[in-house]
Amino acid sequence: MSLIDFDGNPVTVPDNGFYGQCANVDSYKKLNRIGEGTYGIVYRARERKTKKTVALKRMRVDSNANNTVKSLPLASFREITLLKRLRHPNIVNILDIVVGNRLENIFMVMEFCECDLGTLLDNMKTPFSQAEIKSIMEQLFCGLKYCHANHVVHRDLKLPNMLLTASGELKIADFGLARLFHVPKRPMTPQVATLWYRAPELILGSKEYSASIDLWSAGCIFGELLIHQPFMPGKSEQDQLRLIAKMIGAPNERIWSGYSRLPLASTIQFPENR
């Protein structure tokens, strides 16, 4: 198994290292499949020894054309690394890494949450109450404050990546796109965050950003909870910018210092503010 670090460089793992000490996945009984994302399939499972219910996420493993060289995708490696260092009540907790009998069978064991906010909102007949929205947003901001204090920007906040336990505790999940950010800022790709939750500076091509993009996503989530439907559901990046301008006005240098220096600012024509 070959691994890569945050910059895409190979990492040598000794035979008795992290993966050599992992338990076997057979110590958990899979109960049912509960989700699938870009980087893996998630199961509800029960630990055979303790009878504790957990979430078991099978990591996608890449291989070459000859199916001989296997490696964890960079996003999966980042997610494991970051979740093992982040410990907060409002961030999903990684409990263990377990492996199967084949090289490509690698699983993250995480605390189990009954549902995600996206699925819950889709199936609710009545909107959240103001008190419920206040509780959700307070917990979201507590988790974000901890992430940002530890120089982690999530970069993909949206309702499906926010989990709820049976007791109403919110957990921020899916850190596959998360990165450590630095002061002063270092360039990062602007192609992150689902379009409806993407900050305007990302759409306009900025490669120097940090915690502010998570706060924009949180604002879109707040609006979605209030109106019980997507807040700004753009069909394209141009349409998303149009919806943003309609909501808060067209950007310009007077209200957004440095706007004119954004890579794509000169290519976008907004209607004049009224």
Where do the domains of the chain lie? 3-111, 115-267
In the prediction, which pLDDT does 71 show? Answer: 63
Q: What is the pTM of this model?
A: 0.82
How many angstroms separate the CA atoms of 57 and 197, rounded? Answer: 25
The CATH number of domain 3-111 is 2.40.30.170: no
The arrangement of secondary structure in 115-267, i.e. its CATH architecture, is: Orthogonal Bundle (1.10)
**What DSSP line would sit under 12-71, residue for residue?**
---TTSTGGGPEEGGGEEEEEEEEEETTEEEEEEEETTT--EEEEEEEP-EE-TTS--EE
Q: Which of the following is catalytic: 116, 156, 174, 214?
A: 156
In the prediction, which pLDDT does 68 show? Answer: 52
In the prediction, which pLDDT does 15 show? Answer: 41
In the prediction, which pLDDT does 5 show? Answer: 42
In the prediction, which pLDDT does 170 show? Answer: 96
- Is 5 part of the annotated catalytic residue set? no
In the prediction, which pLDDT does 4 show? Answer: 42
* Sites in the chain below the pLDDT cut of 70: 1-21, 37-40, 62-73, 103, 183-184, 271-274
In the prediction, which pLDDT does 39 show? Answer: 59
In the prediction, which pLDDT does 258 show? Answer: 83
Q: Tell the burial category of 170 from Cβ atoms under 10 Å away from its Cβ (0-12, 13-18, 19+).
A: buried
In the prediction, which pLDDT does 251 show? Answer: 86
C-alpha angle 179/175/184, rounded to 5°? 15
